[in-house]
Chain A
């Protein structure tokens, strides 16, 4: 019963979405007609009717957007209910759920599958649209209507995808006796909440995209538009940052390889929207504050959402990682591809047609904050292009019949140096004034950070003569840039510093922190691989690790070897770590469960391998100094984003209140 209610709610939501689109198109065309009437004095019959109805139609669009969100959220709630109660007459539940599973995984199982995740996509999209409809009062009404129209176009495509190609509520007749359950490997909190985080980021970018479309349709690319778009971009960017950081940590502890980024297509699929969103975040600031970079900002909004769509397509269609992507319905890939071509192609065509008629924004000096942001945007775009080329190159080459794979050496060699350059621009940019800055002043401000950079360079090289070039540069740049990123706070009354300035400083500092972690990891990591007997002691970094015991262990669906490692650092107390070598008997898969000890100055990372014969066990140990800074930096970046968002929203609220007082 719940499933039918959910499906009905979904159909109604889709119908309202269509209504939203129709209302947007009619009220916009009515307005165009009417404005033409005033010039031409030659009214067309039908357009007059629309013009008469115009108030009703445009008044309709906000409530419709809200109702659509309520219905779609209801549909999603129904799916959650079906999963939590384990309704075995629903096909999706049978395939992805099981009675005995913990409540949390029954809950997260809702979106741990294709259909459920697409429904989640649409729900977030609809709720985002409703939020725009409810909150947004700054934009010109026509641009808002066009934005909600754009949102409805995107929504309709995904509704069609859900209803015609991946109905989550499909029944199974007869009902199954038991659920198949998710792969026990997937019962991991990281995996349960990672996809929704990225999805919220993607959907936030879709709203920025709709704003850009709205602005192109009405030719209203002005600071007000940028100010309306900015919180959405910032919000999306925060979620993408969290998603990437968490995903990287998940790969780090789950894979047991000691690495934290592998440059494979799925990681790149989440990195590319982040790069585009980062560029957009900075260019939208130029547009909001200085009314510059109009066409570029619109373009970036289109590109950012394109990257989310391309990312979703690459992952969902299995086009790049399809070695074992069985049961990928080819129709799904084609459907997503059709949507992608329709939306992105349409948006780019609209861009080409319209942006020429958008008036040029205001101008600025090359040496100015705008100039620095332009360079930031260029570098980010170039990195984005390099990642995109590297990710898609195998696909393109394959179209000509060759097989090739692009690996980490390509990405490290190209994106690495550019990222270091980008960081230096990041350090200098916030020190500059808008419009025009004198080179001399900037040079003077950069002296101290530059000195720190050089001192760090020399000191690290002196202490560790064997260090590689890139880790050395990375550490030095992190030191210099970390200091420089704090400069905007220098000489300010910290209490009166606006929240969004704090946000920027913390985010920039977080980038430097993350770089320090990456460089430290690649420079100072120590690794040991030993076939150890029980009782044997191994030395790694500051630790002495003794293999105290190997015992059998078991859990739901798996049996394992459980190693007891007694870990001692210097004269400190010993404690135990328990890495596991698991075998899942339902599927015959083996995994290593790492055991990680986090301390202030790094992590001890331990993995248990197989028996090495003669009573020995393979044990792999890493001592990774300051590796945690990578994710701590990511967290700082996200916190900076949150502060910045709060600061902007609070300031706007204050301004509104002030305005209200003036009027009263």
Chain B
């Protein structure tokens, strides 16, 4: 009988392991670097535009009394292209989206929005990631909800999935 029980021991150990895997998979966001800036006002900045038709972005554009989505992206970033349809969907539902292009060149950025559409009201060029660091961001793509006073309320790391469009709209709503 004892021997029978020990034979099940490997399975029991494995079940323990598998449980920790399941728990680990279920909350992956924890291991991403969260912004230290949630609840903090974005420091002042002013970023140039890619041309005359789409205006650049400055901290004043955030403190308008209404919440905004701020999306960090880049033309060299594949997942940014992958989240483009979700951003379009957000824009179509009235979400005001401001873009910050990281380490990018105006010509590349133009090609990118020509190809994947332009959901942005304004796009600022952040060639040396200064503003990204000020937001406490950690990579691209990354999307922040900033309330009407310029205070960061929510951070979404990585590309926006279809299922997360609703979350962002809700976060926008609670921020207003």
Contact = CB atoms under 8 A, between A and B. Distances in A.
A464 to B, nearest CB: 43
Interface residues of A, number: 40
B14 to A, nearest CB: 6
A333 interface: yes
B32 interface: yes
Interface string B1-30: 001100110110011011111111100101
B48 interface: no
Contacts of B28: 318-319, 322, 328, 330, 333
B103 interface: yes
Contact of A319 (B10, B21, B157, B158): B21
A334 B14 contact: no
Contact of A337 (B7, B14, B25): B25
Given A319-B24, A327-B159, A399-B23, A351 B33 contact: no
Given A327-B158, A356-B4, A587-B103, A345 B14 contact: yes
B17 A392 contact: yes
A319 B25 CA distance: 6
B138 A351 contact: no
A349 B11 contact: yes
B23 A326 contact: no
B82 interface: yes
Contacts of A310: 17
Contacts of B30: 398
Interface of B is mostly: helix
A326 B139 contact: yes
B10 A586 contact: no
B136 interface: no
Given A337-B18, A337-B25, A396-B20, A586 B159 contact: no
Interface string B124-162: 000001000000001101000000000000000111000
A319 B33 CA distance: 14
B78 interface: yes
Interface residues of B, number: 35
A313 interface: yes
A11 B10 CA distance: 36
Contact of B25 (A95, A330, A396): A330
Given A299-B10, A333-B25, A392-B17, A322 B31 contact: yes
Contacts of B45: none
B79 interface: yes
A340 interface: yes
B33 to A, nearest CB: 6
Interface of B: 3-4, 7-8, 10-11, 14-15, 17-25, 28, 30-33, 76, 78-79, 82, 103, 115, 129, 138-139, 141, 157-159
Interface of A: 95, 177, 180, 299, 302-303, 306, 310, 313, 317-319, 322-324, 326-328, 330, 333-334, 337, 340-341, 344-345, 348-349, 351-352, 355-356, 392, 395-396, 398-399, 586-588
Given A337-B21, A355-B7, 16 more contacts: A302-B10, A306-B14, A310-B17, A326-B157, A327-B78, A327-B158, A327-B159, A333-B25, A337-B25, A341-B18, A345-B11, A352-B4, A356-B3, A356-B4, A399-B23, A399-B24
19 contacts: A95-B78, A302-B10, A303-B10, A318-B28, A319-B24, A322-B28, A322-B32, A324-B138, A326-B158, A326-B159, A340-B18, A345-B14, A348-B14, A351-B11, A352-B4, A352-B11, A356-B3, A356-B4, A392-B17
